[in-house]
Structure 1
């Protein structure tokens, strides 16, 4: 019997239930018909964050960053590349701490960039400071 997982659509936010075995088959959203996995990080506000972290079944790696932060800007291309490498097994979100101050406060973000890996809606691991793509991918996979 196949295990089903809930996956939030990056385009419309709809929650999709699909067999775990189909994650790698490039499934589309049942509501808006857009791809569920784009290989790109998703810019997240509080609602988007809740849909992916709180309601989705996939592990979620969140980059808490700010536009004025040099290390954050330096790490952005590596985070984009890690999204392509880790998709569809891990969803990657970017939270701009300047725009989402309540969310940053909720998770006690004191320095940026800060990466938090969530699993089943709970924080599993945290790391502060910039990483390159291979370090990001290794860090996420080593948490499994």
Structure 2
């Protein structure tokens, strides 16, 4: 790709990334560093600071890698999307076993389950098929979603507390 006198190596060296928006348009997007994923235990303050902003989005997949084959298949694709997430998006993988204390009594009907929160409300809960396509389809369909009523696992409310990891012993 070449844009305004810059070639791919110049863009890569600058830390900027461009995303293909249509076949003719490239849009500049500044992404978070791709080196690490947010951890709900050790990054509690960072997560709550991001989620406190009105423009934030929280995407959580609840899975169980130890025994759920669909979860094991989906995790690498989810991790890659999380690494490329823009600064206003928090993408977390919560394992039923590793994060049982955080999830409390909430157990999804099926795994893996995607929960999407925007503007302080649960917009969508979707059981994923365990493949990258099902994840992309669920994420693409959020533009029309309205806030859900009931059966909110209250993940957003807990994550917005700076001290939830300390008070939980995480």
Which range, TM-score by smaller chain?
Answer: 0.5 to 0.7
Matches within 5 A, 1:64-143: 64-68=62-66, 69-84=68-83, 86-88=85-87, 90-105=89-104, 107-143=106-142
* Greater Rg over alpha carbons, structure: 2
The question of whether the paired residues in 2 share the 8 Å contact of 1:46 and 1:100 is answered with no
CA distance in 2, matches of 1:38, 1:132: 25
Structure 1 spans left out of the alignment, 5+ residues:
1-22, 27-36
CA distance in 1, matches of 2:42, 2:111: 18
Structure 2 spans left out of the alignment, 5+ residues:
1-27, 144-170
Q: Which residue of 1 aligns with 2:58?
A: 60
Over aligned residue pairs, what C-alpha RMSD do you find?
A: 3.2
CA distance in 2, matches of 1:86, 1:64: 18
CA distance in 2, matches of 1:43, 1:80: 12
TM-score, normalising length: structure 2: 0.51
The question of whether the paired residues in 1 share the 8 Å contact of 2:50 and 2:90 is answered with no
Q: 1:83 to 1:54 in 2, by over 3 A?
A: closer
CA distance in 2, matches of 1:96, 1:112: 10
Q: How far apart are residue 123 of structure 1 and its match?
A: 1.2
TM-score, normalising length: structure 1: 0.59
